[in-house]
Structure 1
């Protein structure tokens, strides 16, 4: 049985009702909705275009200006200003304020259509309202503004409740109902229960499984002001709920997830995230964030991947025979391509081989090879062999990466080292690492049976062998020596990604051990080995065996 509780606005009678359902597991998650304040009510009027076009029998431009200003004030939250443009400012102010607050509307978008003039000289401006209801979605409907010329001159909006919404009246009001949707039971790959209490980093993820990923649900009802009787449903939010007694089976592994949660303590309070997944099929074993609550940056973050992207750059160069690991590719301190590029701590390795450039993460050496790749070639390789930029169906919302074609030589130079406009996150870079290790891309998934619409080509065995050798050398003699004391023949790549001139760099580290690939980013971590290194060391130390 549900038990509604409500808050009542005595002025307009808006009621927000929460229907509580028996909880089984999990926590109710609040989903923030960000809306853009905008109004397009006749922005082209000055040019004689759009809904305020002037012609024979057309409305007075002064009326249309007033309508445009009213809609702009309403959309912009300037309710006192909007009310002052009506024939009843006090009533308008109260109704507009209670309408948006009572229905939890933030940032309406109001779009005007073509105005008309009636025989009595009044003007009507139709408009479409898109009302974002916090945490649920947008409620869209149409209404219209009546305007009348005043005896003392000028035009005002002829105030009526129905202009806010055609069904709003002296006898009917709206009520927002939110369904208190507890997260369903969620299990790991072995059937063990996963809850937000035991695994804090999964709190945001568990809410995304609710209703099969539909998230929160609710409705806006039209009710009788006097009796509260429901007269109709204006709109509903969310999809049909998955029965709470049907657990959502995930690919997560409780042991890996627990170790990932604990490893986040090595972030020293900085924003950080990591993903661990299987190399052979892309199944996600763990994802963790610091802080644990809030934004799931592990799969939805957008970061420059820095030098971890050199795995993809190296693949592109090796695929076309543009370089071999033993070729000499000098590594100077600086290289200027429109701007000055340098290595971390301005290191240099004169006469270095390409293999040495990879293990020491030499930016200038990689940039010097930019002319050996076509303008779109890096992005083409990322998409064709690594699936980056294709649409992934992970089982929860995810950002799947972007590798734009460079706009100029400076941006092309930056893209060679994972900067410029290249965007990724730990999920993407864990997948890149897995693909480099096995040669075959597998779409990452967190629920079994997720559809896969990607299409990729396996890397040649020769390229896979070269990548694995260089990544292993990066651990034994290069910038990922932080992992050198761990067993398992680990291969890795560090990364340092510039954010801005005023902020410390982000630190990255990706690694592969056996059938597991991991990736970690630490915001403002300065270097990958120094910031992400201890996190992945902790993770891999805590779980010495690969999942079966």
Structure 2
């Protein structure tokens, strides 16, 4: 990795590192969050417990900054320790959170444990990504298989990471109508856009180890710069922004949260708010399992394929076992339910039962083909993290992914776009800063039949289902609730996505009991104020 700083900060000497890894800095503040062990359905259904413990011990040592201990748990201790230490120094990473996922057996003598990493980089923000730890049985016992991609999927013997940092200049900005917007009136935009200046920004680049050629950008942080020294021209609607920030502050009770509202007809972002307002931009850069809000997309795939119709009977039992036991909220059930009832009451087991209707990689391909997810990078004009829709590794993971769990990673920006695409039929790349050069993302239009069915299902979720918190709003308002597990015993994240005649909006509230009770009031107040 190489670190560059320009602007008003004192220029630092660049440090070039040949390998990358992840965590150093004292043990205080480091964290590993352990997820549930979810066995696969094919082959050996349960990974050897010792293999799983080895993988988790490696992640725990890495997270605690004990890189020597982490190295000793691998089959290449010296290289592993050096790589992790260099990665940390090169990217100035501190206080990361590592979250192991569902362990999967690799034959009788191996296991794979995927994990997600949240790496705070140099005071710029959090870099979130996913990778996996492979473990094999050796003569010395279970050992982590040391590979470049263990640290990050884009790290290899041919390419490394480079950190470039600078301080933003004084910045003025205007809304979609050319009126000045300020951090005083819109606190969330201070962090998102860098209003007022003096805020750090930068990016982590993937570069060729030999030539230094930039191959891609792994993540961007901080505000964009105004073109030609003039004010930053944004797509923000000042009225919507004020309403979003007030609603988020009123109902989240100090919990971390993010919200994005965008125009259905253009993808232009009219409001982006975070809780706390001046903190990490969760709305654009967070990485969350979307919970049952993802059923909007998986329902689109099922409906487009003709695998179901709203009137198809898909039973909703309390439990369904696919490698592990899946259940509904409060273990509810609807015997003889139609797909419409499954959707509006958010029945997880019904969606699990439909897993055989879609191929293993079909949702991944569908998300790219119709929703613009997983192909080219979205460019909004500020730093954002694209969604991840990986092909499931086994039947258990596939079942979980159908209702928004597993290794799916999204944020409010993604889910607002998913909602807009579902109810219009056309993907439009989100945009926050006017004049941003965007790569063309080729997608297909959803059939009108599917769009009509999705709009009706989401509308019925408001009138008769789990999103009745929005039932008193004027006009055609549709929605989908979601409750996403973070760990088996921990708090959930509450989600809600919704649309009205002009905008699609998505909100996530961390540490919530459910989506309707946490994100629901936020979106209700936002749409109510805009509808006056």
Q: TM-score range by the shorter chain?
A: 0.5 to 0.7
Q: Does 1:538 align with 2:525?
A: yes
SS of 1:501 mapped into structure 2: coil
Q: List aligned pairs for 1:135-154, cutoff 5 A.
A: none
Query: Residue 392 of structure 2 aligns with which residue?
Result: 406
C-alpha spacing 1:73/1:134, structure 2 compared with 1 (3 Å): closer
Query: Residue 274 of structure 1 aligns with which residue?
Result: 259
Per-residue CA distance 1:98-150 (angstroms, 9 max, x = gap): xx9xxx99579xxxxxxxxxxxxxxxxxxxxxxx995699xxxxxxxxxxxxx
Per-residue CA distance 1:464-508 (angstroms, 9 max, x = gap): 010011000000000000000000110100001111122121110
Residues in 1 aligned to 2:7 and 2:176: alpha-carbon distance in whole angstroms: 38
Query: Residue 299 of structure 1 aligns with which residue?
Result: 284
Query: Residue 251 of structure 1 aligns with which residue?
Result: 235
Q: Is the 8 A contact 2:425 2:445 kept in 1?
A: yes
SS of 1:215 mapped into structure 2: strand
Residues in 2 aligned to 1:495 and 1:447: alpha-carbon distance in whole angstroms: 29
Deviation at 1:263, TM superposition (A): 0.5
Q: List aligned pairs for 1:343-422, cutoff 5 A.
A: 343-390=328-375, 391-422=377-408
C-alpha spacing 1:196/1:342, structure 2 compared with 1 (3 Å): same
Residues in 2 aligned to 1:538 and 1:248: alpha-carbon distance in whole angstroms: 28
C-alpha spacing 1:75/1:245, structure 2 compared with 1 (3 Å): closer
Deviation at 1:242, TM superposition (A): 4.8
* RMSD of Structure 2 on Structure 1 (CA): 3.9
Query: Residue 434 of structure 1 aligns with which residue?
Result: 420
Q: Is the 8 A contact 1:209 1:248 kept in 2?
A: no
Q: List aligned pairs for 1:114-513, cutoff 5 A.
A: 134=122, 181-207=168-194, 215=201, 242=226, 246-264=230-248, 265-390=250-375, 391-450=377-436, 451-513=438-500
Residues in 1 aligned to 2:324 and 2:280: alpha-carbon distance in whole angstroms: 34
Q: Is the 8 A contact 1:184 1:244 kept in 2?
A: no
Deviation at 1:335, TM superposition (A): 0.5
Q: Is the 8 A contact 2:23 2:85 kept in 1?
A: no
Deviation at 1:449, TM superposition (A): 3.0
Q: Is the 8 A contact 2:467 2:516 kept in 1?
A: yes
Per-residue CA distance 1:372-404 (angstroms, 9 max, x = gap): 100000111111101112311111111110111
Per-residue CA distance 1:19-71 (angstroms, 9 max, x = gap): 79xxxxxxxxxxxxx9755999xx9xxx9xx99xxxxxxxxxxxxxxxxx9x9
Q: Is the 8 A contact 1:334 1:342 kept in 2?
A: yes
Structure 1 stretch displaced more, 187-196 or 459-468: 187-196
Larger radius of gyration: 1
Per-residue CA distance 1:276-309 (angstroms, 9 max, x = gap): 0000010000010111112100011000000000
Q: Is the 8 A contact 1:328 1:354 kept in 2?
A: yes
Q: Is the 8 A contact 1:338 1:409 kept in 2?
A: yes
Query: Residue 501 of structure 2 aligns with which residue?
Result: 514
Residues in 2 aligned to 1:240 and 1:209: alpha-carbon distance in whole angstroms: 12
Deviation at 1:209, TM superposition (A): 10
Q: Is the 8 A contact 1:392 1:453 kept in 2?
A: no
Q: Which has the higher contact order (CA 8 A, sep 6+)?
A: 2
Deviation at 1:207, TM superposition (A): 2.1
Query: Residue 93 of structure 1 aligns with which residue?
Result: none
C-alpha spacing 1:273/1:477, structure 2 compared with 1 (3 Å): same
C-alpha spacing 1:198/1:367, structure 2 compared with 1 (3 Å): same
Residues in 1 aligned to 2:257 and 2:121: alpha-carbon distance in whole angstroms: 31
TM-score (norm 1): 0.64
Residues in 1 aligned to 2:196 and 2:383: alpha-carbon distance in whole angstroms: 10
Q: Is the 8 A contact 2:303 2:450 kept in 1?
A: yes
SS of 2:505 mapped into structure 1: strand
Structure 1 stretch displaced more, 310-319 or 180-189: 180-189
C-alpha spacing 1:182/1:385, structure 2 compared with 1 (3 Å): same
C-alpha spacing 1:522/1:243, structure 2 compared with 1 (3 Å): closer
Q: Is the 8 A contact 2:178 2:233 kept in 1?
A: yes
SS of 1:289 mapped into structure 2: strand
Deviation at 1:452, TM superposition (A): 3.1
Residues in 2 aligned to 1:240 and 1:493: alpha-carbon distance in whole angstroms: 32
Q: Is the 8 A contact 2:166 2:201 kept in 1?
A: no
C-alpha spacing 1:76/1:534, structure 2 compared with 1 (3 Å): closer
Residues in 1 aligned to 2:374 and 2:273: alpha-carbon distance in whole angstroms: 23
Q: Is the 8 A contact 1:315 1:463 kept in 2?
A: yes
